[in-house]
Amino acid sequence: MTVKSMTGFAREAGATGPNQWAWEIKSVNGRGLEVRMRTPPGLDAAGEEARQIIMRGLSRGQCQLTLSLTRAAGAARVRINRDVLAGLIEDLARVPRPEGLGPATLDGLLAIRGVVEIDEESGGEAFDEALKRDLVAGAARLVAALQVSRAAEGAALDSVLARQLDEIGRLVEAADSSAGRQPEAVKARLASQVATLLEASQALDPGRLHQEAALLASRADIREELDRLRSHLDAARALLAEEAAVGRRLDFLAQEFGRETNTLCSKANDVALSRIGLELKAVVEQFREQVANIE
């Protein structure tokens, strides 16, 4: 199973009688599912059914749905109003023609408003229902095509996320095996810090010194952070294998990755470990950015 992106585009076109129509939809990242719609006047019902199809088919993303409708060439019928034309000819025959003015021509008469009429075809209620059925069926195909587009984008994201998780895992193991975490190195740093405390005050209470030493040791210990990072890695890989929308849960895990990495960096008092921590932060941030695209 590959994850699905929230980014995609689809177009579905068709014709019903003299009408040519086309649906277009594009989707981008969003915290929830939002559908904005533009339809020609009189097609609100078809648009609302299309919206419901989208709401059932998707989980997240901001979608812009547009329907365009045009009348095919030749759908209009040209008709000469013979009564108006005959009336004009009769009236002109009774009107004296000024000297130098030629008789009226047919093309001149046809140019007079009302002589030539253009009748738009109308199929009535049955045609309107057929158009609505075709538009709703087209919207269903449109959403299916958008899902394919988002799945293709998600497949690319899936491989990117897998590589990033592998890199996070590599850095976690590198931090765990870092020379700065070895018992001898920790002991040496702790001894140096205790010596500094003793130099600051020879009268330091032994009990207090023990407490300070324990606190220093606990601040240097990153085992819990490493364990939690490994646990988050397992959870993220399991989510990527699920047959469901996992974007929100992956986003939460990305935040947890960041929290544990920040704590690890703040505890690192070794140059090599600090370098690993900063590299880990960079990969976690890249992971978070990619997760923001997932449905």
Sign of CA dihedral 284, 287, 292, 295: negative
Domain shared by 97 and 28, yes or no: no
265 and 205 within one domain: yes
**Within-domain flag for 237:** yes
Q: Is residue 252 in a domain?
A: yes
Q: Which two tokens stand for residue 22?
A: 């086309």
Q: How far is CA 14 from CA 22, 24, 45, 138, 219, in A?
A: 6, 12, 18, 8, 67
Q: Is residue 249 part of a domain?
A: yes
Same domain, 170 and 111: no
pLDDT along the chain (295 residues), means of 10: 86 91 95 92 90 94 94 64 83 78 78 73 68 94 95 92 96 84 60 64 59 57 89 95 89 95 85 90 96 92
Model confidence, pTM: 0.66
Residues 6 or more apart whose Cβ sits within 8 Å of residue 79: 116, 117, 118, 119
Residues 130 and 52 grouped into a single domain: yes
pLDDT of residue 60: 92
Does 156 lie in the same domain as 279?
A: yes
In a 13 Å sphere around the CA of 244, the CA atoms on its Cβ side amount to: 7
Residue 220 lies in domain: 152-291
Specify the number of domains making up the chain: 3
Mark whether 17 and 135 lie in a shared domain: yes
Same domain, 226 and 250: yes
Per-residue confidence (pLDDT) for residue 198, from 0 to 100: 61
